[in-house]
Amino acid sequence: MQSYLNIVKNILENGTEKADRTGTGVKSVAGVMFEHDMSTGFPLLTTKKMPFKVMAAELEFFIKGLTDKQWLKDRNCHIWDDWCSPDKVPYAHDEETKKKMAEERDLGPIYGFQWRHFNADYKNYDTDYTRQGVDQFKKLINTIKNNPTDRRMMVMAWNPAMLEHMALPPCHYNFQITITGDKLNLMWNQRSVDVALGLPFNISSYALLLHLLAKETGYKEGRLVGFLGDTHIYSNHSEGMKEQLERDPNKYSLPHVETENFTSIFDWEYTDSKIVGYESYDRIKFPIAI
């Protein structure tokens, strides 16, 4: 996808070097936009190999409103392994704290909890939150089906009252749906963007969510747009990013996604969706900045 590579090129050529929370250092630009037309294929990067099932498992985790890190580990999804609720283990960089954070399974009221139980009183990962808080996700789907011209079809993960209890404040903090003709479009906003590791996952995750919402509501798949704030490349990712820019984005065609036995987005499991026709260059390994 040229739109992604243009972001990489822009940062490497025009980004400003600055310090960051992790102590790693970044090159950053302020405010960029990612755009993709879903009719051209599913936006899974071909300039490096991407693990579709890992991304899909995390999306199911969000849709279900879960906060138990062990659920992800059981499905071989290790995106959240190094983080946990700061109420259980306060965040720090020392090795002993990192070990405790990795061992704690409660992530606090992160993304999916806010999607499904916005502002409910959070206890822990194994509490039953049925009918607690605002189910923004269900309201969104009802609005798409019953009032598709509405311009307030948004879901927020950013809850200022609960940020200090989350494993991480949401990076991608809200998404909006619009309907144009017979197509469903999804736009997401992101405050902080790790271009090497995070952004490819964010793109494919919101693309899969768009796909599922379209199936749920009967619309065709339209535009996927990301409004990206502090968009950065970590200093220890620069060489890998340069390698990716040297790869031909047109060598492999974009794949498409198929979802089998679909009945409802609320019953969907990540194994129901499969990526078809995916070919790519080899993986590029990037260290995670914690």
Q: How far is CA 71 from the centre of its chain?
A: 17
Q: Is 171 known to be catalytic?
A: yes
Kindly provide the residue ranges of all beta strands, DSSP E only, lying in the chain, ordered along the sequence: 16-18, 26-37, 154-156, 172-180, 183-194, 220-234, 256-259, 273-276
Exactly one of 7, 120, 171, 184 is catalytic; which is it?
Answer: 171
3-class DSSP state of 4: helix
Could you tell me if 136 and 118 are in contact, meaning their C-beta atoms sit under 8 angstroms apart?
A: yes
Rounded to a whole number of angstroms, the distance between the first and last alpha carbons of the chain is 28
- DSSP secondary structure letters along 7-74: HHHHHHHHPEEE--TTSS-EEEEEEEEEEEEGGG-----SSS---HHHHHHHHHHHHTT--BHHHHHT
CA distances from 180 to 149, 183, 185, 210, 221 (A): 8, 5, 8, 14, 10
2-14 vs 238-245: helix axis angle to the nearest 10?
130
In the Cβ-directed half-sphere of 59, how many Cα atoms lie within 13 Å? 27
CA distances from 104 to 45, 77, 92, 118 (A): 32, 16, 14, 23
Give the β-pairing of 154-156 and 172-180: antiparallel
* Catalytic residue set: 171
